[in-house]
Chains A and B, each alone.
Chain A
């Protein structure tokens, strides 16, 4: 756990006194990824650099697991804290393996242990260890370099990780990939992470919590949903921007609005299907095989148009072109519906049907949030 208690950082700039961090208090729980979000010059990077003593506190204190950072040797303190910056800063004269193994070497790990750790970390970062470990940073692409930067920060298995816009210099396609990969990794590692960003989308995606910072103070501290849907004041509202309801689509997974659906197994007689359609007053029926794998759907109209009394419905099944997965967001669901011109999508987990999401469900969700946003605007 990290506690910032009434932290102040002042410095002189051409005779003017600047308060970069102004009596800021914040508590970050262990295993939590907290994004420090704010406009440039708001003090978020300074706060990060105060944490590993790259900057000196003017007043207040910072405790890591209850221990005051000023009571520890600054070099030893930093060795226990991972540090990643946007410019990465790999050592150009050292190989990838030497870069990653630097801190373990300094704190006295054996060569064998370091080699094993380097191997493990490169694999964790989806980089082929044999291919990359003897290369130099200049031989890697930006995305690969940043993965090595993260690996170097994790090398000595620190509890705490400080990341200053780590994915800011990577092109959008690679950025999404490396963000996803990092979130996946964090699920397993459960590090305490302080992550500086100026990008609201990135903050919403990465953060367990977001601390929105302005003029050296925390304006609002809460989960992404809270920041998005219950902004504390005009600054937060402006920073988050318009279309908050739309942005919220990106945060919510389809499992939250999906519901169960009735389906039949293949081999069903057409007669039975027609009975079902009559009773339920439905237009479509979902067909699965015996292990709940969705095969497709049958349209009532097809059965009526091409009626054959003795037939089974297997011949009438239409393909499901696409399905959703539980971790997909509402935004992705909406996108799939619009591009494929469908209004119902199956959610499939490991091949088996777990539910469906209908366009109407998305509509409900949106209008609920839109009403909320609208009411707040009227109040203001």
Chain B
């Protein structure tokens, strides 16, 4: 397996790059939809269970099945295969962790902080920007981290609808009954997930407001 990786390191890098690119583009788009949606349902309590349940149901659809459903629909636009269906699938799957974490993070802010912010005259926007989002950010980033790690796994399967990525090693290995190649693919996917997760843990720590970090508590 080591030998396979040494001989194919250039291709491995290209595939890993492709893999990461798809994940990052899709998760960014997912965040652009999910975070505002999470904020919205934290202000409109009635909508919260509906939105979260829909996201939950989407999450239960197996990815292969989802690609199958999208194939005929996207074929109308001549995009049934390739990167487009993968990105759409990733956006849909990411909604649950992103919306749920954003919603929960804002919900869990100390009501006294929100009440006093309102009471001294912060508008809804001000409250969001000065207080609620900074306090919620670490939990929102945690949601993104869950989404990204999950998406790294899903992209591996997406190789069957013609997307690139490290799944190619696994797919080709299976076709050629080439065990080393399958293992190399699996190892690289796992490695990618671990590295990205570790990096995002770092980001989570960095965005935690200084006033909330441990070791600062009085008493």
Interfacial residues, chain A to chain B (CB-CB below 8 A): 52, 54, 75-83, 85, 87-95, 102-103, 106, 136-141, 149, 152-153, 162
Contact = CB atoms under 8 A, between A and B. Distances in A.
Contacts of B123: 75
A75 B125 CA distance: 11
B121 interface: yes
Q: Which 10 interchain pairs have the tightest Cβ spacing?
A: A89-B116, A136-B211, A79-B121, A87-B112, A93-B209, A78-B121, A83-B119, A89-B112, A93-B134, A89-B113
A89 B115 contact: yes
A93 B112 contact: no
B211 to A, nearest CB: 3
Interface string B19-32: 00000000000000
A89 B122 contact: no
Interface string B70-114: 000000000000000000000000000000000000000010111
Nearest to A98: B130
B212 interface: yes
Interface of B: 110, 112-123, 126, 130-131, 134-135, 209-212, 216-219
Contact of A103 (B115, B121, B211, B218): B121
Given A92-B209, A139-B217, 12 more contacts: A79-B120, A82-B120, A85-B116, A89-B110, A89-B116, A90-B116, A91-B130, A94-B211, A95-B211, A102-B130, A137-B211, A138-B211
A90 B122 contact: no
Q: Taking each of A83, A92, A95, A139, which has the highest tally of chain B beta carbons within 10 Å of its own beta carbon?
A: A92
18 contacts: A82-B120, A83-B120, A85-B116, A88-B116, A89-B116, A90-B113, A91-B117, A92-B110, A92-B135, A92-B209, A102-B122, A106-B126, A136-B210, A139-B217, A139-B218, A140-B218, A149-B116, A162-B119
* Interface of chain A: mostly helix, strand, loop or mixed: mixed
A91 B218 contact: no
Nearest to A82: B120
A351 B162 CA distance: 95
Contacts of A76: 121
A93 B131 CA distance: 7
B120 A153 contact: yes
B63 to A, nearest CB: 38
Nearest to A77: B121
A106 B131 CA distance: 14
A158 to B, nearest CB: 9
